[in-house]
Structure formats: C-alpha cells, structure tokens
Amino acid sequence: MGNFNNINPGSISISDFNYPLPDEKIAKYPLPQRDQSKLLVWKNHSIEDRIFSELPDLLPTNSLLIFNNTKVIRARLLFEKETGARIEIFCLDPHEPSDYQIAFQQTKTCTWKCMIGNLKKWKEGTLKKSIIIEGENVELCAEKISSDRQDNIIRFIWNNVHFEFSKIIEHAGILPIPPYLNRETEESDLQRYQTVYSKIKGSVAAPTAGLHFTEEVFQRIREKGYQTEELTLHVGAGTFQPVKSETIEAHRMHAEQIYIPQQLIERLLKHRGPRIAVGTTTIRTLESIYWLGTQITTGSVSDISNLKISQWEPYQGTKKIEVNESLQAILSFMKSRQTDHFSASTEIIIVPGYEFTIIDGMLTNFHQPQSTLLLLVSAFLGENWKTVYNHALQNNYRFLSYGDSNLYLK
C-alpha cells in the first residue's frame, strides 16, 4: 500500500488555504431548529444544496455513521481577588489524576493543566470562590502549583466531600464558546453548544458537525437501516489555535485524549459498506486508530497505558498495512489484556496528500481560513475545497461552529 514519503509538510504553505470570510457570514447563534441548517452535498465533483433534515435520504446504502460522544464541560472559572482583579482559569486537561473520569469523581482536590487570563495579576496566594450547590455553600479554592508559558498546573480544593469535581465545575464554571463569536455565553448555549448525543465529559469545544442532529433525524436513520457507532475524543482549546507559521511544518498540534470501545473495532471489521465520520474529531480519531494498529503490528507498543500517535507519525515512512490487519491487531491487543476499551493520546495532523484509511465520507461544518481543519478538508477534497467554499459564500451558507453543514462523499 506504499507510504507517505512523497509528502513534505515543509512545502505546504498555509497561505494557500486562505479565503475571504466576512464577519456577517459567521453564524453568531444557531438556527431555532438544529436540523433546518443548510447541507451542502459534494459527490462526484458536483454540489447540491439541501437541508440537513434530508440527510437520511442522501447517505449511501449500508452506511455506518460514527460519532464523537464527548460533552463540553464548563471549563471557564472566574475568580475575583480582594484587589478586584479578575482572574480566569480555563481548565484544559486533568493533571492528577490524569484520567478524565477519575478526575471528575474526586471529592476533595484535583489538579488540572490550565490557561490563565490576567496571569500577571496573580503572582501568589490562593484564589477563592463561593458557590451554592443544592442549597449548600461550597468554597472553591485555586492554588498555582507551577506556571510557564505552555502549562499552568492548578490545584483545586473544595470544602464539601458530598460533591464531586464534575458537580463543582458544573455550578462554578462557564461553558466556553468559540472566541470568534465575540460574545459571552448565554443560557441557550448550554443546550445548543452540545450535541444531543453528548455523554462523556471532557471537551472545551463541541464537535460541531454533530450539532445538526436531532432525535427525528436519528429516528429516520434507524428506519433506513443505517448503523451507528460512537467513540470519544475530548476536544482541546488547540482546535481554535490558528496556524501562525508560514508552513505547516512549524505548527504544533496539542495532544488530545481518545477513548475507543471494543464494540467499535468489531463493527469496523465486520462492516462492508461506506464509513461516514461525523466531524473532524471523529476522522482524526479513526485515523489514529489505524496508526495505533500499525504500531502494534510492528511491535513498537507494549504498554497499553501509554498509547500515543505523534503529529507527524503517518508521514515518517512507516509502511502502511491493510486496514483490517490494523484493526485486528488492536482487537487482539485488547483481548490479550482483557479490556473492552482503550485510551490513547493523539496529536495527528491531516494535511493534503494524506491517504485516508478508514473513512469513505464525512460530515463537517465550514472551517476558519488557514486552519488545520481546513487542511484536513483539503486532504479529502483536494483543490475542490475552493469550489465548495466559493459556492457556500455565494449561496448564503452560514460559517463556523453554529453554521451550516457539509456532506462530502468520494
């Protein structure tokens, strides 16, 4: 199957992935009904303008849809010092314990990697915040354990063992919405900036391709006999980080945690129809699964607690293997360790020239100019991405997180 030796990331100029995006094209709020957004369908080099509620009629026969079931947490915590200075602590990833589920179950203290707003005003001391949960007063404290330009490690301590950290952050925190919306989080965002199938807490940004789905759409998907599966990738703040370097080679991807159930691997092995990924996070997870299977096959992995795909791993000359060989290696790996799921860390970046291994199509929103997500779309569509985006701009499509949707089929 060859390899990716012909791809030179240093030659990919991010300026080639720019397009004019007027502010009025950015959807600041979602439509009243999720499934009434526009749906641009790209298939066989032609474009159709449809409505998202029609999706079940547009999918290829015997499709398998794969969803990212992550849930956005209220990651923004605002504290006020006695001086009146406001400090914002933005929780990114659990540090100790490092497992999301275990971190959310803590009842006294936990530490997180965080971004801090107004850091220069917080030289020392403990920040405190009073909150009321179920009629009880709780004091939440934040202590700075370590601080540098990359990571700030913050210890949270609270004085009521009846409440787990998931409950603390739910009452003390603010749901983060994308910075390009240029507004504060509103009550409606608490529902609308979550997918209807979100389950596993951990993201600081929504997998927005899924925001269009409703129970009615799912009902019609079931009636048509399509299959569905779920995985989890906790979306990090890096998803909004623009590419600041001239070439993509100098851009650094942030690591994100993925959780894969055995059921998904078994389904991928058995399924004989098209595999449609809902969202770029699902795509990056599925492609990471392939490369993890390659690692296992080549014998470079022995520790299930330290599975990781680095940013440029697919481009380092690793010989490709068949998809089913990779998936079977993962399944055998899981069974030998008597586990029905595994977790891993991925930094994978998908750029033009990447050869997709697992997916045959994707649902996604319109992405920011000069973003890694637009690079991923270009890897799938080639230069056709310009045709698609020009069509959308000329036909009143709404862009970015709360905007309209695309279905791309090979």
| Blockwise average pLDDT, block size 10, the chain, 410 residues | 54 92 96 98 96 98 97 96 92 92 95 92 92 95 84 94 95 94 95 97 95 98 97 86 83 92 97 97 97 89 79 84 95 91 93 94 97 95 97 98 96
Q: Which amino acid appears at position 71 of this protein?
A: K
Q: Which of 174, 209, 238 is the last residue of a domain?
A: 174
- Residue 2 within any structural domain of the chain: no
pTM score: 0.93
* Residue 20 shares a structural domain with residue 32: yes
199's tokens: 């389950």
pLDDT given for residue 317 in this prediction? 75
* Residue 274 shares a structural domain with residue 394: yes
- Residue 383 within any structural domain of the chain: yes
pLDDT given for residue 292 in this prediction? 94
- Residue 380 region by backbone torsions, left for phi larger than 0, else alpha for psi between -120 and 50, else beta: alpha
- Residue 180 within any structural domain of the chain: no
* Residue 56 shares a structural domain with residue 205: yes
Q: How far apart are CA 45 and CA 130, in angstroms?
A: 57
Q: Which of 174, 209, 240 is the last residue of a domain?
A: 174
Q: How far apart are CA 28 and CA 178, in angstroms?
A: 10
Give the CATH number, domain containing residue 365.
3.40.1780.10
Q: Which of 107, 139, 174 is the last residue of a domain?
A: 174
Counting every residue written for the chain, the total comes to: 410
* Residue 279 shares a structural domain with residue 404: yes
The count of domains in the chain is 2
- Residue 79 within any structural domain of the chain: yes
Helices 262-270 and 323-336: angle between axes, nearest 10 degrees = 150
* Residue 202 shares a structural domain with residue 319: yes
* Residue 204 shares a structural domain with residue 326: yes
pLDDT given for residue 316 in this prediction? 85
353 touches 7 (CB < 8 A): yes
Full residue range of the structural domain in which residue 92 is found? 74-174
* Residue 295 shares a structural domain with residue 399: yes
Question: Residue 122's CB: how many other CB atoms inside 10 A?
Answer: 19
* Residue 264 shares a structural domain with residue 221: yes
pLDDT given for residue 395 in this prediction? 97
- Residue 358 within any structural domain of the chain: yes
* Residue 276 shares a structural domain with residue 377: yes
pLDDT given for residue 6 in this prediction? 58
265 touches 330 (CB < 8 A): yes
* Residue 281 shares a structural domain with residue 313: yes
* Residue 151 shares a structural domain with residue 201: no
